[in-house]
C-alpha cells in the first residue's frame, strides 16, 4: 500500500525482493519494476540471494537518492551496503519482531547514527526496541488505512458480539482469547464469537473450545478473503486481541475503521484505538463493558495511508524529482 501510494505521487520505484516470489525474472507491478532474487527462504542459497540483491540490473550511481529496506535483517544489511557504495541515503522500517531479543545478530550493528535512520511503526514498538538495544528509532510513522477501504457508513445493527482475527500461532495467544471469552460467556451465555484465521494451533484451540464449553459460542471461520474479513468486522461489536506482541497491529486499525470497539492487550497501537489490559479477568471485564455500549455509527480512523506516504516523503526526499529502492 505504501509503494502504491508513492507511485501515485509520481515517485520512481525499483523494488528488490529477496525471498518472494519464487522466480528471478523481473516484472512490472503497478508501474514499479520488481527484481526478485528468488531466495525462497532457504539458508543454503542465502549467499546467492545476497549477491543478486547487491548487483541489481539497473543503474544506481548518479540516479537514485534513497534506499528503503523493510525489516532489520538481511534486507537492511543489503540496503546499508548499497547506500554506502553509491553514497545515498538508507532508511529501514522496523516491521515486527525484529525489535525483539532473538534478532540480536542484526541489532549488534546498531549505533546512534544508524538508529536515526530507523522508522518504527508505533510508539510501543519503539519502546521495545529501546528496552532491548538501548537505542530508539529516529522516526515513528504508523501505517495508515487506504482511503478506499474506509466505510462511508456503518450498519445500525451487529449480530456478532465478538471477533478475533489473525494467524493461529503462539504469539497471538488464542488460549488467552478463549479464556476471556469463557469468562464473558458466564455473564452472557448467548455470546456469539467468531475467530478468523488458520494456522498450526487450530486443532488444539478447537479442542480447548470444547473443553471450555464454548462450542456453541465460538465459530472457527478459517482463512477468509480480505474483503470478506472486513465485512465480518462490520458485523461485530467488539474485536478482542490478546497477542503477546504486535509492532503495530494492522487488524486493530482495520477493526476500528469498520466500527468495532477494541479490547486488547497493550501491544502495537491498541492503547490508541481501544481499551487494554494484561490479565484474563481484566480483559473479560473490559469486554463485558464494551459489549454494553452503543453500536458505533462512525468509523474511527487513526491514520490514512495518504498521511503515511506524506510522512515518508518528508524524511527521505530532498526534492520532488527522486528515485527510491525498496
In this chain, the answer to whether the domains covering 2-144+305-325 and 148-291 adopt an identical fold is yes
Question: Which pLDDT score is estimated for 240?
Answer: 98
Cell of 89: 541515503
pLDDT tens, residue by residue, 13-62: 999 999 999 998 999 999 999 999 999 999 999 999 998 888 876 666 55
In CATH terms, the superfamily for domain 2-144+305-325 is Glycogen Phosphorylase B; (3.40.50.2000)
- Locate the domains of the chain by residue range: 2-144+305-325, 148-291
* Candidates 3.30.420.40, 1.10.3720.10, 3.40.50.2000, 3.30.1220.10; CATH matching 148-291: 3.40.50.2000
Q: Report the pLDDT averaged over residues 77-101.
A: 93
pTM assigned to the model: 0.92
Question: Which pLDDT score is estimated for 86?
Answer: 85
Q: Report the pLDDT averaged over residues 79-83.
A: 92
| Three-point CA angle 124, 292, 152, nearest 5° | 70
Question: Which pLDDT score is estimated for 138?
Answer: 96
pLDDT tens, residue by residue, 270-326: 999 999 999 999 999 999 999 999 999 999 999 999 999 999 999 977 654 545 555
Count the residues in the chain.
326
Q: Report the pLDDT averaged over residues 259-275.
A: 98
Amino acid at each position: 500500500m505504501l509503494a502504491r501510494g508513492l507511485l501515485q505521487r509520481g515517485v520512481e520505484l525499483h523494488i528488490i525482493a529477496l525471498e518472494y516470489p519464487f522466480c528471478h525474472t523481473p516484472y512490472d507491478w503497478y508501474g514499479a519494476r520488481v527484481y526478485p532474487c528468488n531466495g525462497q527462504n532457504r539458508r543454503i542459497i542465502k549467499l546467492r540471494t545476497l549477491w543478486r540483491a547487491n548487483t541489481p540490473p539497473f543503474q544506481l550511481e548518479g540516479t537514485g537518492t534513497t534506499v528503503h529496506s523493510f525489516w532489520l535483517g538481511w534486507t537492511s544489511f543489503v540496503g546499508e551496503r548499497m547506500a554506502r557504495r553509491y553514497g545515498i541515503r538508507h532508511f529501514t522500517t522496523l516491521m515486527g519482531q525484529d525489535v525483539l531479543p532473538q534478532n540480536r545478530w542484526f541489532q549488534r550493528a546498531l549505533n546512534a547514527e544508524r538508529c536515526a535512520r530507523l522508522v518504527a511503526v508505533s510508539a510501543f514498538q519503539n519502546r521495545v526496541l529501546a528496552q532491548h538495544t538501548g537505542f530508539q528509532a529516529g522516526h515513528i510513522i504508523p501505517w495508515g488505512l487506504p482511503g478506499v477501504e474506509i466505510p462511508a457508513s456503518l450498519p445500525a445493527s451487529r449480530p456478532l458480539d465478538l471477533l478475533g482475527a489473525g494467524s493461529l500461532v503462539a504469539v497471538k495467544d488464542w488460549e488467552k482469547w478463549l479464556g476471556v471469552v469463557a469468562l464473558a460467556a458466564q455473564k452472557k451465555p448467548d455470546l456469539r464469537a467468531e475467530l478468523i484465521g488458520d494456522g498450526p494451533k487450530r486443532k488444539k484451540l478447537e479442542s480447548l473450545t470444547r473443553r471450555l464449553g464454548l462450542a456453541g459460542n465460538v465459530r472457527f471461520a478459517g482463512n477468509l478473503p480480505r474483503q470478506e474479513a472486513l465485512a465480518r468486522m462490520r458485523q461485530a461489536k467488539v474485536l478482542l486481541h490478546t497477542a503477546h506482541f504486535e509492532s503495530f497491529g494492522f487488524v486493530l486499525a482495520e477493526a476500528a475503521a469498520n466500527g468495532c470497539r477494541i479490547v486488547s492487550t497493550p501491544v502495537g497501537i491498541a492503547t490508541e484505538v481501544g481499551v487494554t489490559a494484561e490479565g484474563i479477568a481484566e480483559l473479560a471485564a473490559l469486554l463485558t463493558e464494551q459489549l454494553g455500549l452503543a453500536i458505533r455509527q462512525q468509523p474511527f480512523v487513526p491514520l490514512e495511508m495518504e498521511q503515511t506516504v506524506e510522512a515518508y516523503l518528508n524524511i527521505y526526499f530532498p526534492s520532488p524529482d527522486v528515485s527510491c529502492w525498496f
